[in-house]
Structure 1
Amino acid sequence: MRRRRLLSSAFAAGMAAALLTPLAVATPPATAAPSGSKKVIANLFEWNWPSVANECKNFLGPRGYGYVQVSPPQEHVRGNQWWLAYQPVSYRIESRKGTRAQFQTMVNDCHAAGVKVIVDTVINHMSGQDNGGTGWAGSTYGHYDYPGIYGPQDFHYCGRNAGNEITNYNDRWEVQNCELVNLSDLKTESDYVRTRIAGYMNDLLSLGVDGFRLDASKHMPAADIAAIKGKLSRSAYIVQEVIYGAGEPIGPGEYTGNGDVHEFRYGKDLARVFRSERLAYLKNFGEGWGHLPSSVAATFVDNHDTQRDVGGVLTYRDGGIYALANAFMLAYPYGSPTVMSSYTFANRDQGPPSDGANKTLNTTCFSGWECEHRWQVIANMVGFRNATEGAGLSNWYDNGYQHIAFSRTGKGFITINDEDFAVTGRSYYTGLPAGRYCDVIHGNFGAGTCSGPVITVDSGGWFRADIPAHDAVAIHVGARLS
């Protein structure tokens, strides 16, 4: 087993500057570029609405991100822990992240920057507070009583295992009719409940949102989600959270009729390969590994849940290896990728940087907020993904171990060397047109110039380069020097 590589001093001396360098905020363009062909999602986890708006204008739009995913916007229980945002008490658009007016401004500003907005949407349940209380915006509530919205008749009481809690994930009925960690479970088979949920989602659509991430989808039958979707006022992008469990009766594949589904195996398998196996195994990554079909798979190296499961996935704490894993995800033609952007946390429950009243503070990148989406490698590989969208995989190379390379046919090329030693004096066949290309792993391309190394592809489609240990080179037609 290979050692787990964090950002060691030896590595830091070599590649930290290139792989972990944050990119500065760019000046927004005078006119917004259309985002229809730009599919990479930035998950700005727990950012407040003014900060999301600014990031859309000043970074996400100019850097080519097509979507921003924002955290749940509805009124929730009071407190600081991150998971309190997943305990709704009403469907009012007012939370510790901002007001309805600020949310509307954020959507408008993101659209003006060419960035579409996906909302993390909590519709499986309401709060998990036994004693009830007063929500963020002043609404009173009880565990099974939400005045003007839901009463006790609108919830499941499964009565198994001497209570309402899910204990057996091999029991389909229990998983979809009992409570997830005491969260009051809505009767999504009820037309009244479906209409209420659709009303909330239609309210968000009226504010201009473009899609929904449906939290805890596994705990609702796919048919219930389809019925709710049928009540929406217009079409919207749908991605569903369905965590794969080996041998469980409920699988992610049964939800693909409603839209995309998060492929949780992706990040875990990728972490295992980068930490202890061989990159050569990634040649048929995705469907070849039993993952969902590429056309419906939503991929990520980590998300807000998995980054808190110690050892399960790569996270910002893994430094350069995390940057390389994201580079692979953005280069390899499988699924629709989401880039995580998180805050620093010392314990699993810790909420976002907040004031004394638990109102989320404005984001200041690299000061409490990790902003992984700005890391040079990750941000520049978004441009690689955009330039190679729709191109196939070709010219795969591996040395049987930790050195791989492949083309996105006619559009881009990447080589990753995760060996503990440099690979020197090797030529790579790219299949790209002859010319000079910016290596976007180490340099920024703009206005026809490159701030880093330039790779020259000859008339036969080849280039020669030395690749240091735990490093990469990536080129694409969108970063070709004039």
Structure 2
Amino acid sequence: MQGSREGKVRLSTHTFAGMANALTRKEPPHDDQPELMTRAERRRAARKARAAKTWKKVAAGTVAVATLFGGMGVASTALAADRDSYQDTIGNSSFEAARNQYGLTKHMKNGAILHAWMWSFKTITQHMPEIAAAGYTSVQTEPMSKIKEVAANGKKFTENWYYVYQPANTSIGNFVVGTEADLKEMTATAHKYGVRVIVDVVANHFTSDWNAIDPDWQNKEYFHKRTGCDGPNGEINDYSNRYKVTQCHLLGLWDLNTQNQAVADRMQKFLKTAVADGVDGFRYDAAKHVELPTEVFDNKQSNYWNTILKNGSQFQYGEVLQGDSGLDYKAYANMFRDNSSDGGGNTASNYGKTIRAAVGSNNLDVKMVKNIDTGGASEDQLVTWVESHDNYANGDKESTGLTDYQIMMGWAVVGSRRAGAPLYFNRPKGSGGTNPQFAEQSQLGDAGDDMWKNKSVAAVNHFRNAMDGKGENLQNCGDKSCLMIERSTSDGIQNDGVVIANMGGDKSLSGMETTLDDGTYPDEVNGGQLVVSNHKIVSGTAKGGAVSVFYVKGESDPNVSVEAASKEFSSDNVKVTLRAQDADNLKYTTTEGESGSFTDGKVISVGKTLSIGETATVKVTGTAAKDGKKVKKGQALSASVTVKKVEVPKQNLAAQYSTNKVGMGVKKTINFNAGKDASIADWDSSMLIAQGAANDDPRVYRPNSMYEVPIDLYALYGAYDDDNLYLMWEMTNVQDVVDTGDDYPLSQGHLWQTQNLPFHIAIDTKDDSTCIGNNGGLQTGGSLWASNITWGGEQKLNNVVTISTNGSNGPWIYKGDESGLNSKAAYGPAANAATNTKKSNIKFGYGNGILSKDVIGIDGGWGENNGRFIGDMKAENQNKAKWVNFNEKGHNSAQMDDHYEIAIPLEEIGTTADRIASSGIGIELAATFGLSAMDSLPYDLAMNDNADLPDTGSQVNNSFEKSDDDMFSVKMANIGGEEPPVETKSVKIDQSDYSVDLSNGVTT
């Protein structure tokens, strides 16, 4: 249960609807809080909150400062854990014998998790033999705290399940899961079968009903005050503001005062009791709503996590839903890992969106499903899924409509991939898909449907366990409806194999290249076999509408390996992953001079010192930790990989696109008023530095996305004087010609009027001493504003300026060093000493109308079947695309098109007018719909590479460009310097020859 993605407050039904009964009663006065609303009022407020666009960058103002935490240890050394879960399981010969019998992974972070949703402890105990046989390393239970019980609801699911997530105290046992004695019996049984137990914990809040809270906890010092929060009843109303996310109340629930050490000590005692009862790990509900130890609010630091995580468990992870702009996802993942004896991390919620979009559209394109948003964490710090209980059970029914078949296909991908610990959510019996969300064929405490032990699902689990530690390769088989996940190491066929999710018809695999070692691989699910020779498939079929699991069970030899993200790269560096299985004394060296020790999964950056054409080699060594078939214990092991830096691939675009064709901007003072109706009278065509095209925004490449407002950049102009850098850009909306039937893009076309979406302006001041490394990724991992945007290839940057379309969010100026961008802004709309943010004097304005007299672009929309295909803006396709002058087709540019302009003080970006005059300044402008870039100037083909794919971050009808990964690599537009302009060219428009002045699109 948590908030947020893509600027919307994601409300969890089990916190909202769970206030039934409590919301109509009056509470005793507490901290001057307002009266609680009625349930009907609450529903209306929640609907308004869902509709609100709330993304705002947290960098200054009320944002908390992350400071170095020190000197705060566990409150009481007397609370040392009595049980060490790792030693009690992996260190126990009986447990190990059972685990090996069922082939379950040694490390919980690598194995599949069965989320036995709403099962009682006794029900789990009864099914333990089947759980082990189905290949689940761990089973996850519901929260075990005492909870509020509404007797009239009995044990039905509807309007009842969410009470489990609303504790009343910290004692073990409730009407869903059973008693503490049941828990002890369940964990003991699990260990007999080599299975480990994860318990869900709600450590952020208690129930909203004060009268239901145990009297021993009815102390206002144990809960955060309801004052100081803008939402009703002290609730969260801004998920980009870390103070509000962590200190305000999640939809009226009583938010624990996590700065109070007594609260921390009581929660730790609760968790240590559970570990003593046999629990091996914890999942923390709403974890991002509890502040990190490094965050300071109201001049207080919190020792909460540092206290409660020291409980003796071996694996702990947090429900840290991705997408909040102020969230340090990596810090949470590292905190859970570092406070567990054998791993931990966060939920990878974004990847669940990706998988649901893929199976929901029968599109398993590698480009869409390969990348996992790790938020800067490592892949073994993730818990992945097709769906979670929130996705399924909440009121928005995000995943409820998925069928068993689609879930099976999604699990084939999630369960077989190397990254993370995949969690399989067990739905209530007879529910979901085409059936009701809660069919009430089972009740709270019962096992759900049988899909968790379906033959294909179990086979994927068995495959995963056998492939533990193996490399990974994804490729499509025949078309985008068929996906192969290959897992292998070059050590023979033992525990090598491939899972195939095929949502199309039968497909012959003969002739396909493969990473698998030569041999014959049987299919556990469908029978048949796959034969490989010389790393090519000789024979084998992927059954249509089915999951195939080809692999050879066996004992792998100890090995080390090294994997490069790409063996050729053109960006600042390339990521290389170091691998080891059953090996120790692990070392690595690079020909660039870096060396050190490593553990399995360590990622290093290689190639920073290389010039084009040069190579670097990474070598890993180790010794075998045990005997294998071909390798003896103590035998030396080694592996290496060589990477090469190559030229940035050229992006040959149609003649309409240009960069510095006219010149390098001019030195001139530009006068305009900030805000609405900013004048563009001081601009002229001599200042054009980058020309785009109309109607090349990603939505036109989808068959059903024309209802979206276009994010369509057209032209970029630049100037400077002794004090400021000036930029002006034009945006077009040719919906009035292309698709008059979709009214929304017509009536809501002015982004500055109706939207609050970020522009990102990357700036290269030509100063190598302040150049930002890591391709502009954050120093803490991830990307600026969770945008998935980076800058590589021919682009260097020293600053990124970010501001929203209506100016209400920003301006922000970000800087950094060789390790990446600093997530704390150097300049912002207000000064903040805590984050070292200074007040910016940037001026930003916008208005209706553009300088260009004609609007030239590619006609049409609605995807490939209607003539719009990926790459139609390339030079090679210029005669295939229908280039038109939209103004000649009736486009009302004066009404539909807009301009934006900005004045950036040179001092704030670290340059001078003299430097610009002599060396120039580089500019790359990106326009977004909240996350990834949708369009850019200069135009980069990264804006188009995934335009035809369904989006994984919002709705499948939308384009994947809305949330995909974008690395800009084209040459930036330049202002100043001494590079000469290039002649204009002609372009064929609407089947007639026009001579086009590319400075402003005027036909002559």
TM-score (normalizing by structure 1): 0.78
Structure 1 residues 196, 124: CA separation in 2 closer, same or farther (over 3 Å shift)?
A: same
Aligned equivalent of 1:383? 462
Structure 1: gaps of 5 or more residues: 1-28, 134-140, 355-359, 364-368, 443-452
Shift of 1:33: 2.5
Which of 524, 529, 549 matches 1:455? 529
Is residue 234 from structure 1 mapped to residue 234 from structure 2 by the alignment?
no
Contact 1:82/1:349 (CA < 8 Å) preserved in 2?
no
Q: 1:266 to 1:456 in 2, by over 3 A?
A: closer
CA contact (8 A) 2:400 2:437 kept: no
Q: Which structure 2 residue ranges, 5 or more long, are not aligned?
A: 1-94, 294-301, 337-344, 490-495, 556-1004
Q: How does 1:183-194 map to 2 (within 5 A)?
A: 183-194=253-264
Equivalent residue, structure 2, for 1:441: 525
Provide the secondary structure at the position in 2 that maps to 1:328: helix
* Structure 1 residue 294 displacement after superposition: 0.7
Structure 1 residue aligned with 2:127, among 55, 78, 81? 55
Amino acid at match of 1:241: E
Aligned-pair CA distance for 1:251: 4.3
- Cα 1:457–1:294 change in 2 (3 A) is same
Q: 2:449 aligns with which of 370, 390, 395?
A: 370
In 1, Cα distance between equivalents of 2:292 and 2:450: 34
Q: What is the rounded CA distance, in whole Å, between the counterparts of 2:332 and 2:193 in structure 1?
A: 32
1:31 is displaced (CA, Å) by 6.2
> Structure 2 residue aligned with 1:113, among 182, 193, 200?
193
Equivalent in 71, 83, 90 of residue 162 of structure 2: 83
* Structure 1 Cα separation of the partners of residues 410 and 249 of structure 2: 35
The amino acid that maps onto 2:273 is: D
Name the stretch that deviates more: 191-200 or 403-412: 403-412
Choose the corresponding residue for 1:297, options 370, 374, 382.
Answer: 382
1:405 paired with 2:405, answer no
Query: Contact 1:429 / 1:463 at 8 angstroms: preserved in 2?
Result: no
- Given that 2:141 and 2:200 are in contact with CA atoms closer than 8 Å, whether structure 1 keeps it comes out as yes
Q: 1:51 to 1:257 in 2, by over 3 A?
A: same
Q: Equivalent residue of 1:167, what SS? A: coil
Tell me which moved more, 335-344 or 115-124. 335-344
Match status 1:123 vs 2:123: no
For 2:334, the equivalent position in structure 1 comes to 257
Query: What SS does the aligned partner of 1:33 have?
Result: helix
> Per-residue deviation at 1:372?
2.6
| 1:465 counterpart = 2:522 | no
Deviations 1:414-464 (A, max 9, x none): 233333x4324634444545555431233xxxxxxxxxx130425545342
Match 2:249 to one of 175, 179, 203? 179
Q: In the alignment, does 2:99 pair up with 1:33?
A: yes
Amino acid at match of 1:155: F
How far off its partner does 1:391 sit?
0.5
1:413 & 1:44 partners in 2: Cα distance?
28
1:200 Cα offset (Å): 0.5
After superposing the two structures, state which structure 1 stretch, 421-430 or 269-278, moved more.
421-430
State the 1:314 CA deviation: 4.6
Aligned: 1:267 with 2:352: yes
CA distance 1:361–1:233, change in 2 (3 Å): closer
What residue identity is the alignment partner of 1:301? V
Question: Partners in 2 of 1:347 and 1:194 — Cα distance?
Answer: 41
- CA 1:326–1:479 in structure 2 vs 1: closer, same or farther (change >3 Å)? farther
1:61-89 deviation line (CA, Å, top 9, x unaligned)? 22321110000111100035111011111
**Higher gyration radius (CA):** 2
Alignment correspondent of 1:156: 224
Distance 2:312 2:96 in 1: 30
Deviation at 1:383, TM superposition (A): 0.3
Q: Deviations over 1:339-374 (max 9, x none)?
A: 1112145776898944xxxxx4543xxxxx223311
Check the 8 A contact 2:370/2:474 in 1, yes or no: no
Q: Please say if residues 52 and 106 of structure 1, whose CA atoms lie closer than 8 Å, have aligned partners that are also in contact.
A: yes
The percentage of aligned residue pairs carrying the same residue is 21
- Write the letter of the residue equivalent to 1:320: Y
Tell me which of 127, 147, 150 is aligned to 2:215.
147
The answer to whether the Cα contact below 8 Å between 1:434 and 1:457 also exists between their aligned partners in 2 is yes
Q: What is the aligned counterpart of 1:281 among 355, 362, 367? A: 367
Shift in CA distance, 304/395, structure 1 to aligned 2, threshold 3 Å: closer
Secondary structure, aligned partner of 1:32: helix
The alpha-carbon distance between structure 1 residues 469 and 457, as it changes in their structure 2 partners (threshold 3 A), is closer
1:342 pairs with 427, 435, 450, which one?
427
Q: 1:316 to 1:428 in 2, by over 3 A?
A: farther
What is the distance in 2 between the residues matched to 1:105 and 1:69?
15
**TM-superposed deviation, 1:384:** 0.3
Q: Displacement, 1:165?
A: 1.3
Q: CA deviation at 1:214?
A: 0.5
2:30 corresponds to which residue?
Answer: none
Distance 1:425 1:178, change over 3 A: closer
Superposed displacement of residue 312, structure 1: 7.0
Q: Is contact 2:360–2:402 with CA below 8 Å preserved after alignment?
A: no
Tell me if structure 1 keeps the 8 A contact 2:329–2:375.
no
Alpha-carbon distance, 1:209 to partner = 0.6
SS of residue in 1 equivalent to 2:412: helix
Return the alpha-carbon distance in structure 2 between the equivalents of residues 44 and 378 of structure 1: 15
CA contact (8 A) 2:393 2:437 kept: yes
Give the alignment partner of residue 330 of structure 1, picking from 404, 411, 415: 415
Residues 75-84 or 456-465, more deviating: 456-465
The amino acid across from 1:178 in the alignment is: C
Are 1:392 and 2:450 matched, yes or no?
no
User: Where does residue 44 of structure 1 map in the other structure?
Assistant: 116
Give RMSD over aligned pairs.
2.9
**Post-superposition CA distance 1:271-326 (Å, at most 9, x none):** 11222344232463214x86743121110111111113578755584121210110
**d(CA) in 1 for partners of 2:135, 2:289:** 34
Could you tell me how far apart the structure 2 residues matched to 1:253 and 1:330 are?
Answer: 23
Question: Whole-Å Cα distance in 1 between the matches of residues 107 and 327 of structure 2?
Answer: 33
SS of residue in 1 equivalent to 2:355: helix
Give 1:119's aligned amino acid.
V
Q: Distance in 2 between matches of 1:404 and 1:70?
A: 32
Verify: 1:70 aligned to 2:154, yes or no: no
Aligned 8 A contact 2:97 2:194 in 1? no
One-letter code aligned to 2:235: E
Residues 62 and 349 (structure 1 numbering): CA distance in 2 closer, same or farther, change over 3 Å? closer
What residue identity is the alignment partner of 1:439?
A: D
Q: Partners of 1:339 and 1:98 in 2: how far apart?
A: 22
Higher RCO (C-alpha under 8 Å, 6+ residues apart): 1
1:319 and 1:395, CA in 2 relative to 1: closer, same or farther beyond 3 A? closer
Query: Is the CA contact (8 Å cut-off) linking 1:46 and 1:352 kept in structure 2?
Result: no
How big is the shift at 1:94? Answer: 1.6
| Alignment correspondent of 1:210 | 280
CA-to-aligned-CA distance 1:160-192 (integer Å, 9 cap, x gap): 235311122122111111111211001111111
What SS does the corresponding residue of 2:423 show, helix, strand or coil? Answer: strand
Q: In 1, distance between residues paired with 2:186 and 2:502?
A: 40
Letter in 1 for 2:196: K
In structure 2, do the counterparts of structure 1 residues 165 and 94 end up closer, same or farther at CA, with 3 Å as the change threshold? same
Is the partner of 1:227 in helix, strand or coil?
helix
The 1:280–1:151 alpha-carbon spacing in structure 2 relative to 1, beyond 3 Å, is same
User: Which one has the bigger strand percentage?
Assistant: 2
Letter in 2 for 1:198: Q
CA contact (8 A) 1:283 1:396 kept: no
Hey, what's the Cα distance between the residues in 1 that align with 2:247 and 2:438? 26
